[in-house]
């Protein structure tokens, strides 16, 4: 494929961007700059990753996590370009960087992937979902898409005016909320979905695909009362892999460094699993666990801990390969980045056994999560009674959102942890707040 043909091909993936005189950047470079300079991106510095943003100065916030996901994502993109550029001639143009597309889109998707997450982490997400369950729903990734296509301020009606390719890269869950609910989702947790309000943007992004590809891409399965989307684009699979690596390794480091996992946990719960023959054979040569050193040394020695965490990240990244997804014809849907079976097993262990069972479900963390849910619900309750009196520029919020509830949800989900706490105290705690406070 010639350079001219590639440039024409890439135009089919853009939304119709505007360009200032003298701006030599590609649409992909412009939208990346808009994400980095957006208010939604800045607010990530005050949002919970696993534990509260104000609980210390070592652990990750949503912002530092996002920066690390971007670095990992660019590493994955580089690996794909080195090892798979000739994998399939139909895919090659999409991972060729002659026009700053693949790595730039990967970085932008990673920068944007958590923009829609509300204050107080997944507890905040659960609270907003419970409030919006009958009013269009709430889900963090769906809110990210909404921010990029509507709420940010670079374009009067189109958010940052994203390219089609970026929309596909952040569209982790192509199933609409309405389809998920009608399909049988009845769990207390929000379905993995996108909002019905963003249907026009999603349909625009999918225009480049055949009708059969479009229909199949939005398929889902139902297991019990949980709807699970089945497919994602190639770019979204790269972004999600980077997020999985960061969540599996860096969150693990934070939990040990902050003593949320105890030496006994490492010895009794985690070490035996790592030392079983399957993991040891896979991890042993690259990590230190088969060279006579104790696994729980990572609790006391920060250098060994950093080496261990870095080793896990490298192993996971290097286990990635490109798999073919049956039934699709377009290369952006026909291929996904995927982990080896060993890597998937390790990610599940670190996320489910370590992070969820030993940390997130611990009473100390659950108390804070419940408090965050309560704060959000009480703020929502107050705003619902009189939004025009309590929310600055309410008319603008209402126009952007289409309904009172969605406007309030948009406003609250954009808050940092500390701002939400300040608003709650201002509303409900006597003796706090001043008429001169910034709100």
Domain boundary at 363, 382, 413, which?
363
The two tokens of residue 119 are 């204050």
For residue 270, pLDDT beyond 90: no
Q: Based on the fold, state whether residues 205 and 333 are members of the same structural domain.
A: yes
Confidence of residue 310 (pLDDT cuts 50, 70, 90): confident
Q: Based on the fold, state whether residues 67 and 121 are members of the same structural domain.
A: yes
For residue 49, pLDDT beyond 80: no
Q: Based on the fold, state whether residues 351 and 372 are members of the same structural domain.
A: no
Domain boundary at 341, 363, 385, which?
363
- Please indicate, yes or no, if residue 431 is contained in any of the structural domains: no
- Please indicate, yes or no, if residue 434 is contained in any of the structural domains: no
Q: Based on the fold, state whether residues 282 and 145 are members of the same structural domain.
A: yes
- Please indicate, yes or no, if residue 341 is contained in any of the structural domains: yes
- Please indicate, yes or no, if residue 57 is contained in any of the structural domains: yes
The two tokens of residue 364 are 């100390």
Residues with Cβ < 8 Å from 307, sequence gap 6 or more? 287, 288
The two tokens of residue 430 are 């006597």
Q: Based on the fold, state whether residues 291 and 303 are members of the same structural domain.
A: yes
Tell me the CATH number at 159. Answer: 1.10.3210.10
Q: Based on the fold, state whether residues 289 and 385 are members of the same structural domain.
A: no
Least confident range from 87-101, 109-123, 302-316, 379-393: namely: 87-101
The two tokens of residue 83 are 């090892």
The two tokens of residue 177 are 């909320």
pLDDT digits (tens, 9 = 90+) for 396-419: 666 667 789 999 999 999 999 999
> What's the whole-number average pLDDT of the chain?
85
What SS3 state is found at 376?
helix
What is the per-residue pLDDT for 342? 83
Instruction: State mean pLDDT over 39-54.
Output: 82
- Please indicate, yes or no, if residue 436 is contained in any of the structural domains: no
The two tokens of residue 179 are 């389809």
Q: Report the DSSP pairing between strands 335-338 and 321-324.
A: antiparallel
Q: Is 25 exposed, middle or buried (0-12, 13-18, 19+ CB in 10 A)?
A: middle
Confidence of residue 251 (pLDDT cuts 50, 70, 90): confident
What is the per-residue pLDDT for 68? 94
For residue 249, pLDDT beyond 90: no
Residue 176 DSSP class? B
What is the per-residue pLDDT for 122? 85
Q: Based on the fold, state whether residues 189 and 284 are members of the same structural domain.
A: yes
Q: Based on the fold, state whether residues 284 and 396 are members of the same structural domain.
A: no
Q: What is the C-alpha separation between 387 and 374, in angstroms, rounded?
A: 19
Q: What is the C-alpha separation between 29 and 34, in angstroms, rounded?
A: 9
What is the per-residue pLDDT for 177? 95
Pure H helices in 224-353? 234-257, 263-265, 271-274, 277-283, 302-318, 331-334, 341-348
For residue 268, pLDDT beyond 80: no
Q: Based on the fold, state whether residues 339 and 417 are members of the same structural domain.
A: no
Q: Based on the fold, state whether residues 63 and 195 are members of the same structural domain.
A: yes
Q: What is the C-alpha separation between 339 and 337, in angstroms, rounded?
A: 7
Q: What is the C-alpha separation between 60 and 48, in angstroms, rounded?
A: 8
The residue among 317 and 287 whose pLDDT is bigger is 317
- Please indicate, yes or no, if residue 433 is contained in any of the structural domains: no
Domain boundary at 326, 341, 363, which?
363
Q: What is the C-alpha separation between 339 and 336, in angstroms, rounded?
A: 10
> What are the C-alpha distances in Å from 345 to residues 36, 40, 49, 317, 320?
34, 33, 23, 14, 13
Q: Is 228 exposed, middle or buried (0-12, 13-18, 19+ CB in 10 A)?
A: middle
Instruction: State mean pLDDT over 287-309.
Output: 69
The residue among 201 and 18 whose pLDDT is bigger is 201
Question: For residue 229, which phi and psi values (nearest 5 degrees)?
Answer: -60, 145
The pTM assigned to this predicted structure is 0.91
Q: Which of 81, 78, 70 is nearest to 32 (CA)?
A: 70
For residue 279, pLDDT beyond 50: yes
pLDDT digits (tens, 9 = 90+) for 313-372: 888 999 999 999 999 999 999 999 999 988 888 888 888 777 777 777 778 778 888 999
For residue 292, pLDDT beyond 50: no
Q: Based on the fold, state whether residues 43 and 116 are members of the same structural domain.
A: yes
Confidence of residue 191 (pLDDT cuts 50, 70, 90): very high
The residue among 350 and 378 whose pLDDT is bigger is 378
- Please indicate, yes or no, if residue 437 is contained in any of the structural domains: no
Q: What is the C-alpha separation between 245 and 267, in angstroms, rounded?
A: 23
Q: Which of 324, 333, 291, 16 is nearest to 164 (CA)?
A: 16
What is the per-residue pLDDT for 290? 47
- Please indicate, yes or no, if residue 231 is contained in any of the structural domains: yes
Least confident range from 141-150, 318-327, 411-420, 423-432: namely: 423-432
Domain that holds residue 337: 1-363
Q: What is the C-alpha separation between 138 and 130, in angstroms, rounded?
A: 8
Tally of domains in the chain: 2
Confidence of residue 170 (pLDDT cuts 50, 70, 90): very high
Q: Based on the fold, state whether residues 74 and 147 are members of the same structural domain.
A: yes
Most confident of 80-84, 183-187, 284-288: 80-84
For residue 86, pLDDT beyond 80: no
DSSP lists the bridge partners of residue 335 as 324
């Amino acid at each position: 494929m010639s350079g001219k043909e590639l440039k024409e091909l890439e135009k089919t993936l853009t939304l119709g961007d505007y360009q200032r005189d003298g701006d030599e950047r590609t649409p992909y470079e412009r939208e990346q700059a808009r994400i980095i300079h957006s208010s939604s991106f800045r607010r990530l510095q005050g949002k919970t990753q696993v534990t509260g943003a104000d609980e210390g100065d070592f652990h990750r916030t949503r912002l530092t996590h996002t920066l690390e996901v971007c670095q990992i994502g660019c590493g994955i993109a580089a690996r794909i370009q080195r090892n798979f550029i000739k994998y399939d001639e139909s895919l090659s143009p999409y991972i060729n960087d002659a026009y700053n597309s693949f790595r730039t889109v990967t970085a932008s998707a990673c920068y944007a992937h958590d923009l829609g997450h509300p204050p107080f982490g997944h507890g905040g997400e659960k609270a907003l979902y419970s409030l919006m369950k009958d009013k269009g729903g709430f889900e963090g990734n769906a809110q990210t898409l909404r921010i990029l296509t509507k709420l940010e301020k670079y374009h009067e009606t189109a958010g940052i005016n994203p390219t089609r390719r970026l929309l596909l890269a952040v569209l982790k869950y192509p199933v609409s909320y309405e389809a998920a609910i009608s399909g049988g989702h009845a769990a207390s947790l929000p379905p993995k979905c996108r909002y019905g309000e963003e249907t026009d943007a999603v349909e625009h992004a999918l225009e480049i695909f055949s009708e059969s590809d479009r229909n199949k891409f939005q398929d889902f399965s139902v297991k019990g009362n949980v709807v699970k989307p089945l497919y994602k684009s190639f770019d979204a699979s790269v972004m999600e892999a980077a997020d999985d690596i960061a969540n599996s390794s860096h969150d693990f480091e934070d939990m040990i460094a902050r003593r949320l996992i105890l030496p006994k946990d490492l010895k009794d719960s985690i070490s035996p699993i790592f030392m079983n023959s399957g993991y040891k054979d896979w991890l042993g040569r690259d990590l230190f666990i088969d060279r006579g050193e104790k696994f729980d040394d990572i609790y006391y020695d920060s250098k060994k801990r950093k080496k261990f965490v870095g080793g896990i990240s490298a192993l996971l990244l290097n286990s990635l390969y490109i798999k073919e997804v049956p039934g699709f014809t377009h290369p952006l849907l026909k291929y996904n980045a995927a982990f080896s079976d060993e890597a998937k097993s390790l990610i599940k262990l670190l996320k489910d056994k370590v992070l969820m069972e030993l940390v997130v479900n611990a009473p100390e963390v659950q108390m804070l999560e419940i408090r965050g849910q309560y704060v959000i619900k009480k703020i929502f309750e107050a705003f619902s009674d009189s939004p025009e009196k309590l929310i600055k520029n309410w008319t603008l919020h209402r126009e952007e959102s289409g309904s009172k509830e969605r406007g309030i949800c948009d406003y609250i989900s954009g808050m940092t942890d500390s701002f939400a706490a300040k608003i709650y105290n201002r509303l409900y705690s006597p003796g706090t707040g001043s008429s001169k406070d910034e709100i």
